[in-house]
Amino acid sequence: MPVQNRFLLDSGIVVRVLRGDVRAADLVDHLSQRGTVLTSAIVAFEVYRGCRDRADESAARNFFQAYLALAVDGDVALDASRLFRSHSGILSGEKSIPDTLIAATAVVDEAALVTLNTRQFSRIQHPGLDLLLIDQDAADWVAAVNQ
């Protein structure tokens, strides 16, 4: 667990909560009991972009009202640029930009990044980046966090 007990949810976690995945909902509840659960404006964008209709959008809006979506500011942009440059073999191309901004938001706001993107993030070493990597195939995501 991070020292600050702050947890920034990546898009994959939020999408699975909204789709009714009990493992994701249990994980968010568990983290909420341990500290502050946050998201980012980039996560909100990615989730809203995938909404199929107004009902999906309404559910997403309710989620983001419950879990503050942190803004991307100048400090996040600077850290994201450093992260992107220092990990060019892992973070390359436009598709990596949202992930880089989300990770930098976690660093700047001193929160652990909670992500299903284990393949990419397991290879990143960056000052201040605290990761809670969740195996999306695990039967119990809370148990995976507590190991």
Contacts of 79 (CB under 8 A, 6+ apart): 104, 107, 108
User: Rounded to two decimals, what is the model's pTM?
Assistant: 0.91
> pLDDT tier at 1 (50, 70, 90 boundaries)?
very low
C-alpha 29/C-alpha 25 separation (Å) is 6
C-alpha 96/C-alpha 21 separation (Å) is 25
Number of structural domains the chain divides into:
1
> pLDDT tier at 147 (50, 70, 90 boundaries)?
low
Look up residue 62 and give its two tokens.
């309710």
How many residues does the structure list for the chain? Answer: 147
pLDDT tens digits, one per residue of 16-46: 999 999 999 999 999 999 999 999 999 999 9
pLDDT tens digits, one per residue of 77-105: 999 889 888 887 777 777 888 999 999 99
C-alpha 6/C-alpha 19 separation (Å) is 24
C-alpha 62/C-alpha 34 separation (Å) is 21
Residue range(s) defining the domain that contains residue 139: 6-146
Of 98 and 14, the one with more pLDDT? 14
Q: What is the CATH number of the domain that holds 117?
A: 3.40.50.1010
Residue 1 within a domain: no
